[in-house]
A and B are shown apart, each in its own frame.
Chain A
Amino acid sequence: MSVSESAPAPSEIQQISIPSEIMDVDTTATASEPLTQLQQPPPSNKRKTEDDEPKEPLSEVILRRLTRIKEGDTVMLKLPSDAIKVITVEKNGLIQLGKYGAFPSSQLLGMHYDITYEIIGGPSASGSGSSTPLPFMSEENGQNTKNKKKGKSKENDNSRTNPGWKNVLRPLKRQNVVDAVVDDITETNEHIHDLPELEKQTLSHDEINELRSQGLSVEEIIKKQEEAHEMFKLKTEFSKEKWRRRKEKKFSTTVHPLSPSIPNILHHYSERSPASVLHLRVDTLSQLLNMANIRPGGRYLVVEDTSGLVTAAILERMGSEGKILLFNNSDSPPAWSILQSMNISERELKGVKCLNWMEAQEDYERPPPPPEDDNAKPAKVAQRLRKHNAQVAELNATRDELHMGGWDGLILATTLSPISVLSFLTQYLIGSAPIVVYSPHMQVLAELLAWSKKDPHYLHDTLSESWERTYQVLPGRTHPMMNTSTSGGWLWSAIRVHPSQFQPESHSRFKRRKTGKQSGKETPSGEGGNASAEEKKQDESGAGPGVEVEAEMQSKADTSISEQAVSEILGA
């Protein structure tokens, strides 16, 4: 989807002309071609012409991706230990989870995400009540467990012998909660001594493995543990439950396929490599999306270094309708490691385009291809030229779309300097477009805020920080969780506005009056069309009532000043 490709040498020639007899129709689009659409190319029109094949609505495609597992999907399996194993679902594969057991990966096909499944012995393994295919499994899945062909992957080498092949998945029935009130609890921990020698009374790892091989269920193993635990009966019901839960985590054989939803993906990456998502937290991300007013059909400029996470989140909010233009530091297209793990289809990514910073500059021109050898075959030469021209055309189309402006929003979650990025990209935004910048460091955004306060193109610039707390809500045991995340990062947001071009008479009168109170500043006349610094100075120093309002929006003192000013002028 990227249009960027490097060329060896800079040149002034943008496009190479090719002999007319082999010229393609699609090479005609250049930067110089006037675009018919003015401020706002409606994205809906464009889409219609592109998607002429009969297809199901995109929203259904997205919903299916987020709810059901299909072949070839990358799936995050959460294990009882809360560790996550990332697997690819194949028709013929065995998923081995060490002590948590193994099962054929075909078992996952068509399954719902975000549900915990128990790995249990299949029809031939045990003669229990689950010998018939479970109702939630399709016919196909039931057969797959019986007659699968040997796959090519290594873990299939022992396919027939591994007992895991006979295992099936079934939804886990959850444990009940001890529903008692504190007054009912008679046991205390007065007589409980957590001595190491008492710990030894519980079963050893080997003993547990022994029990497991005998085919004992998790609850039976735990029961044995309880029996071995001398102090167990002394514990309160609450702590018994807690103990059991801990043990269950240790012994149960379950998998929980996590849906590639934004909260799940973000949670996974912030545990595994928080730096790869710039320490973003789900509440902060949710605020970023709302502040940026992401909606289907919108067109957004995005600069992100979160491995594609922010792009994916924006894309999802757009329902993949509209356009995202990404900016890239390197010559090659960005490596969206997260986007790739979300099973996003090409169709969903259709509206995502990318430019590197050099290509995004208005004065950039793609250099011509290297000179051809004299004895190169004309057909080959033509083919190469066609390819080059097609690339140039695509690049220029994207560049034109950027430079035509009218974008609906600008979202930054980048390690680049936000002041630098904003000073370049704000000009391409439509009036009143929201701008949101995320940073894990408040200092960066404080600098940005100090800068934006002086630039009249930014209105309502605010710096905020999200806070979140999770509660354990259990009968008689409700409290906030003991451990929590300290910071989800900071957000700077503003609205891009068109600064005023003129200074009305009444305004300057007012200003003259006020200069006594304000630290006396001069009044430039606002003729500078897009020289932002100049205008800003005007706004800052031309201390009208609005300036105060602009600086301190909610401040009642300020509005009262302006009120006073108005009445003064009316009186005068």
Chain B
Amino acid sequence: MQDQQVDQQKLSESSRSSLYSKSMFHSRAVIEAGDLVISRDNLTSIIITPGEEMHNKFGRYAHVDLIGQKFGTKLHSPPPHAGYIHLLRPTPELWTLSLPHRTQILYLPDISYITMRLGVRVGGKVIEAGTGSGSMTHSLSRTVGPTGQVLSFEYHQPRYEKALEEFKSHGLENVRLQHRNVCKDGFNDASGVEAVFLDLPAPWEAIPHAMKTLRPDIITKICCFSPCLEQVLKTVSTLRSEGFSDIFTQEVLIRTHELVKESDPDHLTSVSSVVDSLKAHEKRKVERRAVQMKTAREKARRQKENRDGVSSSEPGQKRKLEEDKAEGTPSADIDNEEKQQEQVKEYSAWVEPDTQLKNVVLTKPTPEMKGHTSYLTFASLYPEIIRNAIAAQESSKSAVATPRLAELVAEKLAGRAGSQETEYGSDGLDEVMGTLTEEEMIALAGK
């Protein structure tokens, strides 16, 4: 569909990008060579490379034919293939659904919640370890924008190489990927970081290293992503002893709902309409019966006539029979019975309320959902100046020991000698105030 010149021009445009390809985050309406395009229908992603073909159960498509198509186009495969694909502009959310899994990945509910709670902002600098399959990395890269930076760390060599290649071809220029074991070797020269996301088997090992990278002038945040409660306990304990505050642990899940098509014809039918249809049915039955009996008699009569060869005074008889039949219909009996019953009943006749239930759109949750991904443990580190002020407060307090404190200390030594000192973090937003135990602890430490 494109003429050769246009293709050539597009080719030259795509070749001018040097190290990084074009950013996958854009608002261009039309597909160009080098673009990452995601087909929603089979969740595959391709980078438009003239000369290549995409062939799958949805058809056969030459990449060149996709150039010049609008993003969002529903494209039918050229014959003889049936089927079509939707050509979609990549977003981190679509990428999450289509990316090649190298590890267990993060999905939308966790990614969005972490981004929100960590306060990831445009122009901010964040750390992510480990990179894994890059699901979170793409989302962070989009959110911090061109002026921000994502420092991503992966200790697994092949995964690192794959991710490096991927980020380059997606044009994620604000992502700096490093091959490094952060638990052992720390975060290299990273500094001025505002938020740290740790998706590691032992985040507590990386927390002390992560602290060194954090910006000292503002409140900075950390999130540890662990599937097991045992890991959470260790993480929380480390966060407390390292001086983090406002520690809280959360889980976020998502449940999808789908439309229900009720195939049952009686679905949400009213009783009165069932009664009506039963009545109609019964009426038909009776009529049919009458016809059957009539035919049977007719038949018998004809047989008799055939045998006798003479017709008797049949018509009169038949009419009489029919009249008998009409009088003795069961429906008439039922009517009579109903009338009798109504007289017996004390309450008024049943009136069915009018409802719109039949028109209601029905949904039900999809049969299966993710029941657990990981626990998200968040914590804040106060600015250095605040931490110092608190520390200063601590030392001045222990200097002015009161008699009451001495008394406390004695009691303390006798009583709670085994307890260990850890910074107390409030659970969630529920702030906890006071310094009593603290004072006791200092006193203890002094002794």
> Beyond A408-B27, A473-B247, A570-B80, is A176–B258 a contact (Cβ under 8 Å)?
no
Interface pair A459/B425, CB less than 8 Å apart? no
Q: Mark B223-266, 1 if CB is under 8 A from A, else 0.
A: 00000010011001100100001111111111111110000000
Q: Is the Cβ of A432 less than 8 Å from the Cβ of B71?
A: yes
Q: What is the chain A residue whose CB lies nearest that of B385?
A: A136
Q: Which residue of chain B has the shortest Cβ distance to A295 in the bound complex?
A: B142
The 8 A CB mask of A456-476 against B (1 = contact, 0 = none) is 100110111111111111110
**8 A Cβ contacts from A389-410 to B:** 406, 408
Give every chain B residue within 8 A of A128 (Cβ-Cβ): 396, 400
Could you tell me the distance between the alpha carbons of A170 and B382 in the complex, rounded to whole angstroms?
13
Contact with A along B69-88 (1 / 0, CB 8 A): 01111111111111110111
Contact among B233, B249, B385, B422 for A470, CB-based, below 8 A: B249
B390 and A218: CB pair below 8 A? no
B82 touches A569 (CB 8 A): yes
Q: Which of B360-391 contact A (CB under 8 A)?
A: 360-363, 365, 375, 377, 380, 382-383, 385-386, 388-390
Cβ proximity bits A259-302 to B, threshold 8 Å, 1 near / 0 not: 00111000100000000000000110111011101011111000
A residues near B428, Cβ cutoff 8 Å: 470, 481
Closest to A59 in B: B123
Task: Report A414-448 CB contacts with B as 1/0, cut-off 8 Å.
Answer: 00000000000000001111100000001100110
* Cα distance A434–B92 in the bound complex, in angstroms: 12
Set A248, A460, A469: member contacting B433, Cβ < 8 A: A248
Which one of B269-277, B293-301, B347-355, B435-443 is at the interface? B435-443
Interface mask (A17-55 → B, CB under 8 Å = 1, otherwise 0): 000000000000000000000011010000000000000
B92 to chain A, nearest CB (A): 7
The 8 Å CB contact of B437, one of A175, A290, A317, is A175
Size of interface on B: residues with Cβ below 8 Å to A: 123
Contact between chains at B57 and A174 (CB < 8 Å): no
Asked whether any CB of chain A lies closer than 8 Å to the CB of B159, the reply is: no
- Taking a contact as CB atoms closer than 8 A, the residue among A115, A248, A287 that contacts B386 in the complex is A115
Name the residue among A135, A469, A495 with the largest chain B CB count within 10 angstroms.
A495
Please state if B434 and A464 are interface contacts (CB–CB under 8 Å): no
B143–A317 CB distance below 8 A: yes
Q: Which of A39, A406, A446, A462 has the most CB of B within 10 A?
A: A446
Contact B93 A507 (CB under 8 A): no
User: Once the chains are docked, how many angstroms separate the CA of A469 from the CA of B399?
Assistant: 43
Residue of B nearest to A319 (CB): B122
B116 interface neighbour in A60, A252, A263, Cβ under 8 Å: A263
Contact among A130, A498, A569 with B80 in the assembled complex (CB-CB below 8 Å): A569
A15 → chain B, closest Cβ, in Å? 31
- B309 → A minimal CB distance (Å): 56
Name A's interface SS. mixed
- Shortest Cβ distance from A488 into B: residue: B252
List, in ascending order, chain A residues with CB within 8 A of B76's CB: 500, 502-504, 507
User: Would you call A112 and B84 a contact (CB within 8 A)?
Assistant: no
A166 to B31, CA, bound (A): 67
**Stretch of A143-151, A327-335, A356-364, A543-551 lying at the B interface:** A543-551
Stretch of A86-94, A371-379, A557-565 on the interface side: A557-565
Closest CB-CB distance, A476 to chain B, in whole Å? 9
Tell me if A537 counts as interface (CB < 8 A to partner B).
Answer: no
A176 and B233 contact, CB distance less than 8 A: no
Contacting pair B424 A283 (CB below 8 A)? no
Is B28 in contact with chain A by the CB < 8 A criterion?
A: yes
Select one of B71, B80, B246 contacting A430, CB under 8 A: B71
Q: Is the CB of A546 within 8 A of B393?
A: no
Contact B250 A174 (CB under 8 A): no
In residues 189-211 of chain A, which contact B (Cβ within 8 Å)? none
Q: With a CB–CB cut-off of 8 A, which chain A residues contact B436?
A: 175, 218-219, 222-223, 244, 248
Partner of B57 from A252, A287, A430, A562 at Cβ < 8 Å:
A562
Known contacts A406-B29, A460-B40; A473 and B236 CB within 8 A of each other: yes
Q: Are B121 and A316 in contact (CB under 8 A)?
A: yes
Residue numbers in A under 8 Å from B12 (CB-CB): none
> By the criterion CB–CB under 8 Å, are A218 and B380 in contact?
no
CA distance A424 to B195 in the complex (A): 40
Residue B58 is within 8 A (CB to CB) of chain A in the complex: yes
Interface size on A, residues (CB 8 A): 135
Q: Which of B420-434 contact A (CB under 8 A)?
A: 420-434
Known: A171-B390, A174-B438. A293 touches B86 (CB 8 A): no
Verify if A325 is at the interface (C-beta below 8 Å from B).
Answer: no
B124 at interface by CB-CB < 8 Å: yes
The proximity string for A residues 205-227 relative to B, scoring 1 for CB distances below 8 Å and 0 otherwise, is 00000000000001110110000
Given contacts A177-B240, A470-B428, contact A136 B386 (CB under 8 A): yes
B113 interface residue per 8 A CB criterion: yes
Q: Which of B26-46 touch A at CB < 8 Å? A: 27-29, 40-42
Extra 20 A-B pairs, beta carbons < 8 Å, given A177-B424, A286-B116: A59-B123, A60-B123, A62-B122, A67-B218, A114-B246, A135-B385, A177-B423, A179-B420, A219-B439, A223-B404, A286-B115, A291-B112, A316-B121, A319-B147, A321-B122, A321-B145, A434-B93, A449-B361, A481-B428, A497-B86
**Residues of A participating in the B interface, judged by any CB pair closer than 8 Å:** 39-40, 42, 57-60, 62-63, 66-67, 78, 80, 82, 112-116, 128-130, 134-136, 170-180, 184, 218-220, 222-223, 237, 241, 244-245, 248-249, 252, 254, 256, 261-263, 267, 282-283, 285-287, 289-291, 293, 295-299, 316-319, 321, 406, 408, 430-434, 442-443, 446-447, 449-450, 453, 456, 459-460, 462-475, 478, 481, 490, 495-500, 502-507, 509-510, 544-546, 549-550, 553, 559, 562-563, 565-566, 569-570
A-B contact pairs, 9 of them (CB 8 A): A82-B431, A136-B385, A173-B390, A176-B438, A289-B116, A449-B363, A459-B40, A467-B254, A481-B428
Chain B residues with a Cβ under 8 A of chain A: 25, 27-29, 40-42, 57-59, 70-84, 86-89, 91-93, 108-109, 111-113, 115-117, 119, 121-124, 139, 142-143, 145-148, 218-219, 229, 232-233, 236-237, 240, 245-259, 360-363, 365, 375, 377, 380, 382-383, 385-386, 388-390, 392-394, 396-397, 399-400, 404, 408, 416, 418-439, 441
List 9 A-B pairs, minimum CB-CB distance, nearest first. Answer: A431-B72, A319-B122, A59-B123, A248-B434, A432-B72, A286-B116, A129-B396, A290-B112, A296-B145
